[in-house]
Chains A and B, each alone.
Chain A
Amino acid sequence: TQLLEQSPQFLSIQEGENLTVYCNSSSVFSSLQWYRQEPGEGPVLLVTVVTGGEVKKLKRLTFQFGDARKDSSLHITAAQPGDTGLYLCAGDYGNNRLAFGKGNQVVVIP
């Protein structure tokens, strides 16, 4: 069973458009992370959210943690080709385990 469901699985948009991807679960997490992975490389951490309702901004990326700490969203404003990649959410569900979703593949067309 997948603890974290990410949607949409694939998203293709034009440069300059906005997009939002989602990470949902029926479980409560003590923290939730977003990673970005580019082809042939390992994932790299973008942000960690800990508090329910928390909003964090990283340049044009805005991350939100749901009030109940079960879900999160990533919004990209004015997407650029450099934003292309696989976005993975990961939830800390204790016992030193981090569960990953299947990812949101984002393609930004110049």
Chain B
Amino acid sequence: GAVVSQHPSRVICKSGTSVKIECRSLDFQATTMFWYRQFPKQSLMLMATSNEGSKATYEQGVEKDKFLINHASLTLSTLTVTSAHPEDSSFYICSVWGENSYEQYFGPGTRLTVT
């Protein structure tokens, strides 16, 4: 069964609104979770590392005030895209390491379309 879930799977929003995406680790506790973004025909770009109980670590070029990350529990991280614009339309995927950090498990992804 699924190890990581994401909700929603698809969302369409109007420009200027905010959208929250949830990522849940179903099988084990995750002190660290990762958020990726993938544009069409491109690879996964790591946006940020979500740390339970502390601030997220953002990759270079990712605006922390635009992509708000909250990791309030060991099984849930949320990504909020604030004041979304059409260029934020993308496939957002979260992931967690397995318990031995041998394999990274990915959520099913969230397709965001900003109109």
Tell whether A pairs with B. Answer: no
Which residues of B does A touch, CB under 8 Å? Answer: none
Which residues of A does B touch, CB under 8 Å? Answer: none
